[in-house]
Amino acid sequence: MKKYVLASKNKHKADEIKEILGENFEIQTMDEAGIGNLEIIEDGSTFEENAEKKAIEVFKATGLPTIADDSGLCVDALSGKPGIFTARFAGENATDDENIDKLLLEMSEVNEENRTAKFVCVIAVIDKNISENTQFFRGECNGYITKKRAGTSGFGYDPIFYYPEKQCTLSELGSNEKNKISHRYKALKKFAESI
């Protein structure tokens, strides 16, 4: 069994990653690794930069193999926004609902065919030491932004992200189905296959 510390304090993200990777991996959260108080400033300009920064900081603090995730929603009509600012689109401590409300407001004049978007996930992995190259794994999930929320499962922007192949929002899919098609699943699958 391969053991990694996950460079995240986001419980939803940790649960999702554990579920996707399954029994062949033991994933410790930052709290479980005893570094729950570690603050990491995400000041990179790309998903890759932010994921790598998180992986490096957690590896330095623990000396253990580390996996970090930076992900976000990129909306074509908004020139890729919210992008790396997805979690704090409506402000530093914004809730999921506040972020969704701001996005829907900014897109209120955007017609149906121009509401295309994608979720992006970049996984950064440091296995043995920082001087080795960080490994990156990227996954994307394409869809559309709806005009109103639908569904009750998931988190973040799931209630307004319509996935055409399933003809529903990610929130309506439920976590088991979402975890088979999501951006995070695609990136983590590439990571798992590389080991």
Is residue 12 marked as binding?
Answer: yes
Is residue 71 marked as binding?
Answer: yes
The Cα 152–Cα 107 span in angstroms is 22
**Residue whose pair of structure tokens reads 């580390």 in the numeric block:** 66
- In the chain, the amino acid numbered 53 is K
Is residue 8 marked as binding?
Answer: yes
The first and second tokens of residue 142, run together, are: 């394409």
Is residue 31 marked as binding?
Answer: no
Is residue 183 marked as binding?
Answer: yes
**Residue whose pair of structure tokens reads 């590389």 in the numeric block:** 194
Is residue 194 marked as binding?
Answer: no
Is residue 11 marked as binding?
Answer: yes
Three-state SS string over 90-155 comes to: CCCCCCHHHHHHHHHHHCCCCCHHHCEEEEEEEEEEECCCCCCCCEEEEEEEEEEECCCCCCCCCC
Is residue 69 marked as binding?
Answer: no
- Establish whether 127 is a catalytic residue: no
Is residue 155 marked as binding?
Answer: yes
Is residue 138 marked as binding?
Answer: no
43, 70, 97, 127: which is the annotated catalytic residue?
70
* CA distances in angstroms from 74 to 19, 34, 47, 81, 194, listed in the order given: 25, 33, 11, 5, 27
The Cα 118–Cα 114 span in angstroms is 13
Binding-site residue ranges for substrate: 8-13, 71, 155-158, 178, 183-184
Binding-site residue ranges: 8-13, 70-71, 155-158, 178, 183-184
Binding-site residue ranges for Mg(2+): 70
Q: What residues are labeled active site?
A: 70
